[in-house]
């Protein structure tokens, strides 16, 4: 049986375009300390959690449809393979119907058996299903 990338889905009462804008405001739902730009194709940004950081480039952006962040560098300080995310993609597939939008979140390359899988599964689940959803619904999230 093939290993599957980490993924989850949520549904919000918002347009796909609004969801795209909110996802791109990384400092409002994921991490308070974000440097660089995260709004347009080829923008680069860093998410910083002290000793841990992740650098991204937006490699695909179709408003209301899809966003892909490619990891260009990272330091996952709590595991042995501190560069485990390098070359992976964080994908947001966005599908709208009327005023409901489904967000399919996929971390391509984050597979069961990866050193950080269990911790990252908990982290992504909280950030996406709680903080991002709250930000979309209520206008404020819970960034770290």
Please tell me the predicted confidence (pLDDT) of residue 99.
Answer: 82
Share of the chain residues as helix, strand and coil, in percent rounded to the nearest 5? 25, 40, 40
Q: What are phi and psi of 83, to 5 degrees?
A: -105, 20
Domain boundaries, the chain: 6-138
The alpha-carbon radius of gyration of the chain (Å, integer) is 14
Q: Which class would CATH give 6-138? A: alpha beta
Q: If you ran DSSP here, which 8-state letter would residue 130 be given?
A: I
The strand pairing partners of 91, in sequence order, are 68, 106
Return the pLDDT at 2. 61
How far is residue 119's CA from residue 85's CA, in Å, rounded to a whole number? Answer: 13
What string of pLDDT tens digits covers the 144 residues of the chain? 567 999 999 999 999 999 999 999 999 999 999 999 999 999 999 999 999 999 999 999 999 999 999 999 999 999 999 999 999 999 999 999 988 999 999 999 999 999 999 999 999 999 999 999 999 999 999 999
* pTM assigned to the model: 0.96
> What DSSP assignment string belongs to 81-126?
-TTTTTT-EEEEEEEEETTEEEEEEEEET--TTSTTHHHHHHHHHH
């Amino acid at each position: 049986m093939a290993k599957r990338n980490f993924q989850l889905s949520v549904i919000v009462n918002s347009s796909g375009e609004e969801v795209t804008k909110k996802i791109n405001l990384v400092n409002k739902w994921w991490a308070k300390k974000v440097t660089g730009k995260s709004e347009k194709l080829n923008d680069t940004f860093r998410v910083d959690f002290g000793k841990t950081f992740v650098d991204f480039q937006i490699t695909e952006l179709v408003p209301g449809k899809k966003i892909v962040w490619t990891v260009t560098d990272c330091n996952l300080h709590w595991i042995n393979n501190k560069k485990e995310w390098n070359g992976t993609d964080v994908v947001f597939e966005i599908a709208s119907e009327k005023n409901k939008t489904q967000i399919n979140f996929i971390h391509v390359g984050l597979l069961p058996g990866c050193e950080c899988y269990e911790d990252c599964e908990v982290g992504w689940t909280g950030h996406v299903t709680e903080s991002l959803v709250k930000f979309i619904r209520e206008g404020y999230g819970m960034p770290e």
